[in-house]
Structure 1
Amino acid sequence: MKKLTVIMTCFNRKDYTLRCINSLNETAGLLADWRFNYVVVDDNSTDGTEDALVELSAAAGTDICVLKGNGNLFYTGGMRKGIEYAKVHCADSDGYLLANDDVRFDSASVSHMIADMDAAVLVGATKDDDGRFSYGGIRYVKGIKYIPVKPEDDDRTCDTFNANCVLVPGDIFRASPNMDEAYNHSLGDFDYGLQIKRLGYRAEVYRIYAGVCNKNDVRGTWNDTTLPRKLRLAKKEGIKGLPRREWYHFLRKNFGVATAFTRSLTPYIRILLGR
């Protein structure tokens, strides 16, 4: 019997979290030779998520380990905590699935992806409610400029990924470092994929979509061009924005000092120009 460890983080999205796990349980039902367990980091939710996960674990016989956060982990911090736990307590797993709890997984598609897992990281791309590509693989084409990599592409190799659905073979997971502690919310998954690539491992987008996940709404964020410049700047420097220290660290680590120096200014220019 093979073992798959699913790692996700959540905060006050009880219905989404339960729906996500239930859809993955349906996937497990299609794979007779696989056993699933879940490592879920609940970042101090106040909507009953933790109790609901405990109930689901008992009622459905689902192996769910709930790790408690302090409310300040955010996405990358939560995933980092889950990965850290899995490296110690689930070290014998054959595969690890990094998942976002707002993905509505297609059970058949994910079962095919798991069955086809070999020596490469497989990225399960998602579509939005209208059937358009939303998240998946990333390929850099010139400097920090990148293009999305989709299941319908002829070349599905990628440099990194959005970690909405990423299947990492056991050997690669154990050999790879955790998500960088420099990041709180965004950039952690991009950086994680680039770390895996630097170790010499291959990543590719799987040939069929893994499920549905709508893109994050830019309204009310630092990318919202209808907001005043001063407010956009404040939001950019917030934890869920693009804080300058984290952005500079990402650029310097992955693209070099010269790129970090020049491209770290780009977001400020965008805000100044109203773009």
Structure 2
Amino acid sequence: MFFEMRSYAVLLTVFNRIELTRKSLVDFEKAVSFIPNASFDIFLTDDGSTDNTKEVISQEFPNITILEGNGNLFWCRGMVNSWKYACGNNVNYDGYFWLNNDSYIFPNSIKEILSSSSEKSDQAIISGAFKSAINGLTTYGGRLKGQVKNLDPNGTLQRIEWMNGNLVFVPKYVFDRIGMLDDTFWHAIGDYDYGLRAIKNNIEVYLSKDYVGICEDHEKIEACYDVNVPIKKRFKNFYTPLGDDPFLRFIFLKRHYTIFKATKSFIITHLFVLFPSLMKLYNNK
């Protein structure tokens, strides 16, 4: 597996949170130090940070390529920005890693993910499973359609459908067939869409055999569904990348499910913004 020289691109996008970014990069560099005969080029889009992210990272990690965003890219479009630059780097990469800057990986994680990819002839996507340092429960990784809870790793490669983008390996075989993330999606949904697009192209998506790191669950109710937020502000948040943009949700559901499901969701989410209490009743039915 590791005898021939291989090259990988590592993709990040960040906005502030310099301490998280620093720790994430330190952990990543430690993990790749266990992998001989491989190089890792890191491409980081700094999307308008105001906490000196660019200056700190360029000083402490001089080998990282730092790209400047316009402050309006958010996660998915920021990742696409990093990916496009990596593709123009005149290196025929063997694969691409996605890494979130709030995800802290274990020293053996990259080696294990590459080993799992090799088991699948480097023709499948591997998504890393994360757990909470507070309670040890699974926080991110992936799940099957229709499930609310993410799958727990069980020592084997389990197929998943809805994939989280905290730490993901996309081998060259996959990239050559489905390309990069779709920048139709601004912030969220892009990772789910990528995994489902892969499956439609007969590419399998797997959860890592074991936990690859620590990432706390930061899922929270969007302001658009918060009864304590004034209705005008709820709708303002609703149509932003950090809300639950109904148009992007419509595109996603129409693409991967049915136009009926997409239309139903479009109507229901608007009702939830108008009457947030309906959301709890709907989810508990």
What is the TM-score when the length of structure 2 is the normalising length? 0.86
Structure 1 residue 235 displacement after superposition: 2.3
Classify the secondary structure of the residue corresponding to 1:184.
coil
Q: Give 1:104-253 correspondences, 5 Å limit.
A: 104-118=104-118, 119-130=123-134, 131-141=136-146, 147-152=149-154, 156-218=158-220, 221-228=223-230, 230-253=232-255
Note if 1:70 corresponds to 2:70: yes
Distance 1:148 1:139, change over 3 A: same
Classify the secondary structure of the residue corresponding to 2:40.
strand
**Which amino acid in the other structure matches residue 38 of structure 1?**
I
Distance 1:158 1:238, change over 3 A: same
Q: Give 1:17-32 correspondences, 5 Å limit.
A: 17-32=21-36
User: What residue in structure 1 maps to residue 283 of structure 2?
Assistant: none
Classify the secondary structure of the residue corresponding to 2:170.
strand
Q: Which sections of structure 1, spanning at least 5 residues, go unmatched?
A: none
**Which amino acid in the other structure matches residue 244 of structure 1?**
P
Given that residues 129 and 212 in structure 1 are in contact (C-alpha distance below 8 angstroms), is that contact kept between their aligned partners in structure 2?
yes
Structure 1 residue 157 displacement after superposition: 0.3
Alpha-carbon separation, structure 2, partners of 1:197 and 1:28: 28
Deviations 1:175-226, CA, capped at 9 Å, x for gaps: 2232223211111111111111111110110111111111115266334455
Given that residues 177 and 195 in structure 1 are in contact (C-alpha distance below 8 angstroms), is that contact kept between their aligned partners in structure 2?
no
Structure 1 residue 156 displacement after superposition: 1.5
Alpha-carbon separation, structure 2, partners of 1:74 and 1:18: 19
Structure 1 residue 237 displacement after superposition: 2.2
Note if 1:42 corresponds to 2:27: no
Alpha-carbon separation, structure 1, partners of 2:257 and 2:90: 33
Alpha-carbon separation, structure 2, partners of 1:202 and 1:99: 20
Note if 1:95 corresponds to 2:95: yes
**Which amino acid in the other structure matches residue 97 of structure 1?**
F
Structure 1 residue 230 displacement after superposition: 4.9
Higher mean C-alpha deviation, range 80-89 or range 239-248 = 80-89
Distance 1:254 1:245, change over 3 A: same
Structure 1 residue 114 displacement after superposition: 2.1
Q: Which sections of structure 2, spanning at least 5 residues, go unmatched?
A: 281-285
Distance 1:109 1:180, change over 3 A: closer
Number of paired residues? 268
Classify the secondary structure of the residue corresponding to 2:159.
coil
Distance 1:155 1:140, change over 3 A: farther
Note if 1:14 corresponds to 2:18: yes
**Which amino acid in the other structure matches residue 216 of structure 2?**
N
Structure 1 residue 11 displacement after superposition: 0.7
Distance 1:84 1:132, change over 3 A: same
Alpha-carbon separation, structure 1, partners of 2:114 and 2:90: 18
Given that residues 222 and 241 in structure 1 are in contact (C-alpha distance below 8 angstroms), is that contact kept between their aligned partners in structure 2?
yes
Deviations 1:114-135, CA, capped at 9 Å, x for gaps: 2332222111011122211111
Alpha-carbon separation, structure 1, partners of 2:161 and 2:186: 22
Structure 1 residue 269 displacement after superposition: 3.5
Alpha-carbon separation, structure 2, partners of 1:146 and 1:201: 23
Classify the secondary structure of the residue corresponding to 2:133.
coil
What is the TM-score when the length of structure 1 is the normalising length? 0.89
Structure 1 residue 109 displacement after superposition: 2.7
Given that residues 222 and 243 in structure 2 are in contact (C-alpha distance below 8 angstroms), is that contact kept between their aligned partners in structure 1?
no
Alpha-carbon separation, structure 1, partners of 2:258 and 2:90: 35
Higher mean C-alpha deviation, range 106-115 or range 25-34 = 106-115
Given that residues 160 and 203 in structure 1 are in contact (C-alpha distance below 8 angstroms), is that contact kept between their aligned partners in structure 2?
no
Classify the secondary structure of the residue corresponding to 1:39.
strand
Deviations 1:79-128, CA, capped at 9 Å, x for gaps: 11112222232651122111101111111233222233222211101112
Given that residues 160 and 197 in structure 1 are in contact (C-alpha distance below 8 angstroms), is that contact kept between their aligned partners in structure 2?
no
Classify the secondary structure of the residue corresponding to 1:194.
helix
